[in-house]
A and B are shown apart, each in its own frame.
Chain A
Amino acid sequence: MPEIRNYTLNFGPQHPAAHGVLRLVLEMDGEVVERADPHIGLLHRGTEKLAESKPYNQTIGYMDRLDYVSMMCNEHGYVMAIEKLLGVEVPVRAQYIRVMFDEITRILNHLMWLGAHGLDIGAMSMFLYCFREREDLMDCYEAVSGARLHATYYRPGGVARDLPDRMPQYEANRFRSAAQVKKQNAAREGSMLDFIEDFTNRFPGCVDEYETLLTDNRIWKQRTVGIGVVSPERALQLGFTGPMLRGSNTEWDLRKTEPYEVYDQLDFDIPVGINGDSYDRYLVRVEEMRQSNRIIKQCIDWLRVNSGPVLTEDHKVAPPRRSEMKGDMEALIHHFKLFTEGFSLPEGESYAAVEHPKGEFGCYLISDGANKPYRLKVRAAGFAHLAALDEMARGHMLSDVVALIGTQDIVFGEVDR
């Protein structure tokens, strides 16, 4: 009788279900995983070291590139760490805009997650449905910042500019007829807020569509129920945050427990899972999309009736308006100093955490009083989650590893930094 031995399987880094550049060394006993050893760092760009050689404002753009499917939430954590140390006030309108875009980002992230997770474990059409709605939200990003992905929209003390009065529209060409374009532009006739409102009215119906496809789907349940069960105590030990922690029956959401910006004035619920398996985490994330939609609606209502500045008037931190610079010497000097040297932070340390779509995104900032950070540490949610993959995968089949990577919502931009 031949001897049966464990063998080692190399999963990735070029594997479509590895969500980027994960190299997973799996020790297998037949088709059962004995040990999983994730090798990360293939996307390590040294963002934190780069930040040490740049003025504060020039690092905001790098934050987009960490978790590149939830860009503005990364920026939010970073600018909050600066604001805490600087003690600068953020205008209320800017706070509402930030909250609105945080929630748009959350929907963007969860749609990406749902599409990719579905694709990984066999629900092909989910990807197409999710990307249909993502397209509209990407257009919001583009309308407000000029970029569909890497927005660089938040600034210490507010946001770069106010919401635009009109949405960009499609134009007819030889591939798209005028009638087709008219239909596509139907929601884009008004301001950006009109467009987002139209989206929030449509979106719950879209979520219903996703749920029709998945929630009671026998194959979906077979692939997710009872896979990667994590107890609440263990989830805390492993440093889980966000939907991973809430899926394990722990009600902890920084938007409620450490409210930042205007979250304490908004009405929304925190969904919590019961069993701590992949299916519960799926339910939590789907419900989060509905709640985000609610928050966006409330922000739209507020933003419609309240106008005001969106960036602090403290010109040591934020540049003065172009028109002021034409006539005012002081404004010109402020502009020059801000764009050549940047602003200095008082000496000290701050840690700012935001409820990122994937979990807690924290920025630990050490300043020695210079115009560049002395040390910036980014606490990425995915890093702690991926570290627990070994524990979650043990005893599961090889195909469940794919489901686990999916349920953890891993993005290597933030894991490797």
Chain B
Amino acid sequence: MSRLDDMIGRLRAAFPDNDSIHTSVDLASITVSPADLPTVALMLRDDPALSFKQLSDLCGVDYATYGQDEWNTETAGTASFSRAVDASSVGRLSFGSEFELPDIGRARFVVVSHLLSLDHGVRLRLRCDAPDDAMPVVPSLTTVWANADWYEREAFDLFGILFDGHPDLRRILTDYGFVGHPFRKDFPLVGNVEMRYDPVKGRVVYEPVSIEPRVLVPRVIRDDARYVSGAVEEEATAAAKAGQSAA
């Protein structure tokens, strides 16, 4: 892991004002604001000490229902399974059902990129929060890494995140004429429309979905001690040690 520690040090030296640089499991992580993103990305690519020449991946994340579960695990109840499950989660939405998004107190849409430095053999996670939930706009990285093009089209298609400066922001994965952004947490898992061939009209027609939502296993968050993994414990002890040595 020394390669990673080296890189963390170099990142801290390159971006002294950024306090979000940390190790996440086995790669470095940094969060930047949309305004800083273009300059930071250029530096990450061109600075020989960093040299993140390749963009491995770029994706959108919708944090709207982060940390929400469907089953109360703290107390035991007498309610049966079906009553215990909260029916408001995205997997259980059907056509036309209203879904109230909770206030999460943070940016809803985040663009996460994974960068690779072949020279140093390290990966970096570059996070950028989109400031406005209703109209999420983030600067495009297409001028820095050419393959950001399709990844950004995908994030636009699936999440509705707009990329400022993208040369050709079209939908990529969904159908021609698709409405909505399917990977958002308020988009039903079963979708909104289904299509079939209508022999009377002699063409393909779109209709509201007829399938029932069918998610069988409830979403359960357990934070008991038994689920604390070795890696997390190690991280905690390492953090404690670092705290001691700093003191």
Contacts and interface: CB of A to CB of B under 8 A. Distances in A.
B222 A371 contact: yes
B118 A237 contact: no
A31 B91 CA distance: 49
Interface string A361-375: 010101011111011
B219 A351 contact: no
Contacts of B238: none
Given A85-B231, A350-B25, A387-B149, A371 B220 contact: yes
A90 to B, nearest CB: 13
Interface in A64-89: 84-88
Contacts of B67: 368-369
B123 A369 contact: no
Given A53-B215, A236-B118, A340-B217, A377 B147 contact: no
A344 B24 CA distance: 19
A375 B229 contact: no
Contacts of A84: 25-26, 231
A391 to B, nearest CB: 8
B146 interface: yes
User: Contact residue range for chain B?
Assistant: 35 or more
Nearest to A372: B219
A249 to B, nearest CB: 13
A353 B147 contact: no
Contacts of B91: 52-53
B219 A371 contact: yes
Nearest to A53: B91
Contact of A41 (B112, B151, B173): B173
Given A53-B91, A85-B25, A379 B221 contact: no
B155 to A, nearest CB: 10
A236 B53 contact: yes
B231 A369 contact: no
B221 to A, nearest CB: 5
Nearest to A89: B230
Nearest to A237: B146
Nearest to B149: A387
B138 interface: no
Interface string B128-158: 0000000000000000011101110000000
A11 interface: no
A44 B217 CA distance: 24
Contact of A49 (B25, B29, B183, B229): B183
Contacts of B146: 237-239
A150 B97 CA distance: 35
Given A316-B227, A387-B149, A236 B26 contact: no
B55 interface: yes
B55 A239 contact: yes
A344 B220 contact: yes
A371 B217 contact: yes
A384 interface: yes
A387 B147 contact: yes
Contacts of A85: 25, 229, 231
Interface in B172-190: 172-175, 182-183, 189
Interface stretch (B11-19, B56-64, B203-211): B56-64
Nearest to B53: A236
B226 interface: yes
Given A239-B145, A362-B57, A377-B57, 10 more contacts: A46-B182, A49-B189, A87-B229, A87-B234, A341-B220, A351-B25, A351-B125, A353-B123, A369-B223, A371-B219
27 contacts: A40-B172, A41-B174, A49-B183, A52-B91, A53-B90, A53-B91, A84-B25, A86-B229, A87-B234, A237-B146, A239-B54, A239-B146, A252-B118, A316-B226, A343-B227, A346-B229, A349-B25, A349-B125, A364-B114, A366-B61, A368-B221, A369-B221, A371-B221, A372-B219, A374-B66, A379-B57, A387-B147
